[in-house]
Amino acid sequence: MRIFSGIQPTGELHLGNYFGAIRQWVELQHENFCIYCIVDYHALTNESAKPEELRHNRKELALDLMACGIDPEKSILFVQSAVPEHAELCWILGCVTSFGDLARMTQFKEKAKGQQFVNGGLFYYPVLQAADILLYLADHVPVGEDQLQHLELARRIARRFNWRFGELFPEPEPILGKVPRLMSLADPARKMSKSYGPDHYIGLMEPEQEIWRKIRTAVTDVGLTPGQAMSPGVANLFTLLELVAPAEVVEEFRVAHAAGRLLYKDLKETLFRYLMEILRPVRERRRELEGKEVVEEVLAAGAEKARKIARQVLKEVRALVGLD
């Protein structure tokens, strides 16, 4: 398979990103051709993005990804804006994209809600995302569930381009992880996300006591009785526990919940303990990498490899549409 996926340098890497996407990125790189992109053009749609922060976040995110196991020897890791072909293909693909389709995107509606100034980039975001994927003729995209609608649109764009100008792009398929949608611990009705603020995510590299605070104060429910259905907050804690703890431990807690004798404090303490076990090696690798100053070289080499492919594909695109 030819794999492409991206992540925005808009803040810390969190458990939703990790279990929803990055863990699959790592697994896939062993047997596939993988291209992983830090999508800084996308991050500009974020009204509060400051130039210095953006520069800083890109580097930090590259380090985080490498600490999670993205291996630059196996995969191409690069920053989107180092390959300006993304922007050119975005424009061309915009001309085979339906306005009505864009207007239906739920992420746009959600992110635009409550903002005073809604920039056009936010509306056009899914076209750039389609360009990111199609520029490398990728056929599979490991993502969280929130991206399925965008991916469906990328398929429609590919189809419409192929129909109008000639067969070129594969229709990319999603690869979902075991937990396609992890919820916020502070508000289990919303997905865990960087843009709702730090209380709504657990960062992989956060101080241990901060992680404990967020788990300790996670929303549950009051007055558990035998046979009671699981509230969304408790279900989310179980989802996390399943990701990090042995099956017997999860089962024990399930039985206790069903019997109405589960103490949420015990559940939270156990979750915290197992989660830290999973995070510890990642955090250690992150500290090691920090001292090495490898990241710039890795990203430059990645951009060069990516650009070679991008140039070739764009050349074919330009010829097909009549620009060359």
Residues binding ligand ATP (CB under 6 A): 7-8, 10, 16-17, 20-21, 143-144, 146-147, 180-182, 191-195
Provide φ and ψ at 67, rounded to 5°: -65, -35
How near is the Cβ of 101 to ligand ATP at its closest, in Å? 19
Residues β-bridged to residue 183: 191
Q: How far apart are the first and last CA of the chain?
A: 30
Nearer to ligand ATP, 82 or 314 (CB): 82
CB of 258 to ligand ATP, least distance (A): 26
Cβ 39 vs Cβ 80: under 8 Å: yes
CB-count burial class (<10 Å; 0-12, 13-18, 19+) for 280: exposed
**Half-sphere exposure of 284 toward its Cβ, with a 13 Å CA cutoff?**
6
| CB closer to ligand ATP out of 38 and 96 | 38
CB of 17 to ligand ATP, least distance (A): 4
Closer by beta carbon to ligand ATP, 72 or else 174: 174
Q: Considering the candidates 109, 178, 194, 292, report the single residue annotated as catalytic.
A: 194
The smaller minimum CB distance to ligand ATP, of residues 48 and 225, is found at 48
In terms of CB distance, is 167 or 173 closer to ligand ATP?
A: 173
CB atoms within 10 A of CB 184: 24
Is there a catalytic annotation at residue 305?
no
3-state helix, strand, coil in the chain (%, to 5): 60, 10, 30
Catalytic-residue membership of 59: no
Give the contacts of 83 (CB within 8 A, at least 6 positions apart). 135, 303, 306, 307, 310
CB of 92 to ligand ATP, least distance (A): 24
Look up 191 and say whether it is catalytic. Answer: yes
Which member of 50, 59, 109, 111 is catalytic? 111
Q: Name the minimum Å distance from CB 163 to ligand ATP.
A: 28
Smaller CB separation from ligand ATP, 125 or 161: 125
CB of 148 to ligand ATP, least distance (A): 9
Place of tokens 């179980």: 238
Among candidate residues 66, 137, 74, the one with its CA nearest the CA of residue 296: 66
Spatial distance between the Cα atoms of 306 and 210, rounded to a whole number of angstroms: 37
Choose, from 191, 265, 305, 308, the residue flagged as catalytic.
Answer: 191
For residue 294, give every residue at least 6 positions away whose Cβ sits within 8 Å of its Cβ, in sequence order, or none: 66
Output the DSSP codes for 251-277: HHHHHHHHTT---HHHHHHHHHHHHHH
Give the catalytic positions in this structure: 111, 191, 194
